[in-house]
Chains A and B, each alone.
Chain A
Amino acid sequence: MEKLLEIKDLCKSFGDHLVLDTITTDIYKGDVLCLVGPSGGGKSTFLRTLNLLEVPTSGKIYFEGTDITDSKINIDRIRKKIGMVFQHFNLFPHLTILENMTLAPKKVLNISESDATNKAKELLNRVGLIDKKDTYPNMLSGGQKQRVAIVRSLMMSPDVMLFDEPTSALDPEMVGEVLDVMKELAKEKMTMVVVTHEMGFAREVANRVAFLDEGKFAYESSPDKFFKNPENERLQSFLSKVL
């Protein structure tokens, strides 16, 4: 299988606090990697280093063979291939849903207005939000906002999607609609890295689940083994608390 992301000896500290401790792993094309673990374990920080929203203290990250930690690299050209979905959606409140989706494709990919609009409508149709295209983000529910945020990222046709606790800020009844969109994506063989507390999703959709604790990949396996009989005491105690 083709390696999409290669992470080598990745470390990140905030001041004296070591958040990521020498992480080495590969992410392959079509992987759905779920990251779970206690808060403060480094899940979000790890995810955010993958598109350099956090700059690693040391170590290397290769994306499609390019070392993105190299200071000479134009990170904007890398980021357009790495979609990201945030816990708090981060839609642009002053733009309509359609404008939210077409802004970056127009500015970054130089796609024409009409092509961008057509693509946006098609994606909105897929997530059942076409009737919201001309409204503003604040008119939408949390679940709707997050679905828009997902298709906004998809507008760039990314090679990998990063999800940073995409359902944590949602009311419980809206979690399902967002997870459904993510399941669809996984079915279409999108490479995904997902920080989540939704163990059901991890078990059902992921092909790899990793337990991040104290800045390390403390345990990683297939979801089956991860949830049934993990050979890691801290993970066992973590799972007993959350399941």
Chain B
Amino acid sequence: MDKIIKALQLNLIKDNRYIYILDGLKNTMIITLFATILGIVFGLIIALIRTTYDNTKRLKILNAICQVYITVIRGTPVVIQLMILFFCIFTSRNTSGVMIAIIGFGLNSSAYVAEIFRSGLMSIDQGQMEAGRSLGMTYLDTMRFIIVPQAFKVVLPALCNEFIVLIKETSVAGYVAVQDLTKGGDIIRSRTYDAWTPLLIVAGIYLLLTCIFSAFVKKLEVKLRRNERTAG
């Protein structure tokens, strides 16, 4: 017991080392949150292009671009994508690492989110589109006011899961000089030469975060299902 308290004191209290953890946690949350938003916006656009092509055979070129994009993004490691952004594209060191991480993880996530949205859009009965169009609404208006809102409800749990996955994936942000939660633990380890304590603390925090959001997703799923039931 004494040993544990001593280890915690050394790794967290001494020289205010817990600041590394808190700062790291803050960066991890910022990156995850904004990357998720970017991923959802981009993912929805890609999904709409792909679905429009599937339904109407229009937007052929854009669809081809999207397919290549999804293949490349999903077929290469996210850490390589990050490093390409950091070392090859945004070579000016004025760009903050956090910003690059948001762009990198956001683009990466968009490829997965696109496929989630696409499955949601495809799951909506064809009759909904026909009903909207037969009332004289344009394809885009029908998508916007009728199809997408319904699809969004279908994919909401999957989207939240994507968010949870992203929390953990951001742990490689240290590769591009971002001081995230993992990197924070790393720094402490390099100061104290204690590997166990900082790594377990960091792992514990990730676990806590994902558990909180998983519980949230579960609640959401139950709530969505309840709406369906009372709705008939």
A residues with CB within 8 A of B: 51, 53, 76-77, 79-84, 86, 88, 90-94, 103-104, 107-108, 136, 138-139, 152-153, 156
A81 / chain B contacts, CB cutoff of 8 Å:
136
Quick check: B137 and A94 within 8 Å, CB to CB? no
B134 / chain A contacts, CB cutoff of 8 Å:
51, 53, 79, 82-84, 153
Quick check: B138 and A76 within 8 Å, CB to CB? yes
Quick check: A80 and B133 within 8 Å, CB to CB? no
Shortest C-beta distance, B129 to chain A (Å), equals: 9
Whether B145 is near chain A, meaning CB under 8 Å from some CB there, is: yes
B136 / chain A contacts, CB cutoff of 8 Å:
76-77, 79-81, 104, 108, 156
Pick the 9 closest A-B CB pairs, nearest first: A80-B136, A138-B232, A104-B135, A90-B131, A84-B134, A90-B127, A138-B231, A108-B136, A79-B136
Quick check: A108 and B137 within 8 Å, CB to CB? yes
Quick check: A92 and B128 within 8 Å, CB to CB? yes
B231 / chain A contacts, CB cutoff of 8 Å:
93, 136, 138-139
Tell me the bound Cα distance from A94 to B232 in angstroms.
12
Shortest C-beta distance, B146 to chain A (Å), equals: 6
Quick check: A90 and B133 within 8 Å, CB to CB? no
Quick check: B135 and A94 within 8 Å, CB to CB? no
B127 / chain A contacts, CB cutoff of 8 Å:
86, 88, 90
Tell me the bound Cα distance from A153 to B146 in angstroms.
16
B137 / chain A contacts, CB cutoff of 8 Å:
76, 103-104, 107-108
Tell me the bound Cα distance from A194 to B162 in angstroms.
48
**Contact-residue bracket for chain B:** 20 to 34
Whether B54 is near chain A, meaning CB under 8 Å from some CB there, is: no
Quick check: B130 and A53 within 8 Å, CB to CB? yes
Q: A103-B145, A107-B145, A139-B231 are in contact. Are A90 and B128 (CB under 8 A)?
A: yes
Q: A138-B231, A139-B232 are in contact. Are A92 and B135 (CB under 8 A)?
A: no
B146 / chain A contacts, CB cutoff of 8 Å:
92, 94, 103
B135 / chain A contacts, CB cutoff of 8 Å:
79-80, 103-104, 108, 152-153, 156
Shortest C-beta distance, B67 to chain A (Å), equals: 26
B residues with CB within 8 A of A: 125, 127-128, 130-138, 141, 145-146, 149-150, 153, 231-232
Q: A76-B136, A79-B136, A136-B231 are in contact. Are A93 and B150 (CB under 8 A)?
A: yes
Tell me the bound Cα distance from A108 to B131 in angstroms.
14
Tell me the bound Cα distance from A84 to B131 in angstroms.
8
B130 / chain A contacts, CB cutoff of 8 Å:
53, 84, 86, 90
Shortest C-beta distance, A115 to chain B (Å), equals: 17
Tell me the bound Cα distance from A107 to B144 in angstroms.
11
Tell me the bound Cα distance from A51 to B138 in angstroms.
14
Q: A51-B134, A108-B136, A153-B135 are in contact. List 20 more A-B contacts (CB 8 A).
A: A76-B137, A79-B136, A83-B134, A86-B127, A88-B125, A90-B125, A90-B127, A93-B150, A94-B146, A94-B149, A103-B137, A103-B145, A104-B132, A136-B231, A138-B232, A139-B231, A139-B232, A152-B135, A153-B134, A156-B135
Shortest C-beta distance, A166 to chain B (Å), equals: 13
Quick check: B131 and A86 within 8 Å, CB to CB? yes
Shortest C-beta distance, A99 to chain B (Å), equals: 10
Tell me the bound Cα distance from A92 to B132 in angstroms.
9
Shortest C-beta distance, B213 to chain A (Å), equals: 25
Shortest C-beta distance, A169 to chain B (Å), equals: 11
23 contacts between A and B (CB under 8 A): A51-B134, A53-B133, A76-B133, A76-B138, A79-B135, A79-B136, A80-B136, A81-B136, A82-B134, A86-B130, A86-B131, A88-B125, A92-B132, A93-B150, A103-B135, A104-B135, A104-B136, A104-B137, A107-B145, A108-B136, A108-B137, A136-B231, A138-B231
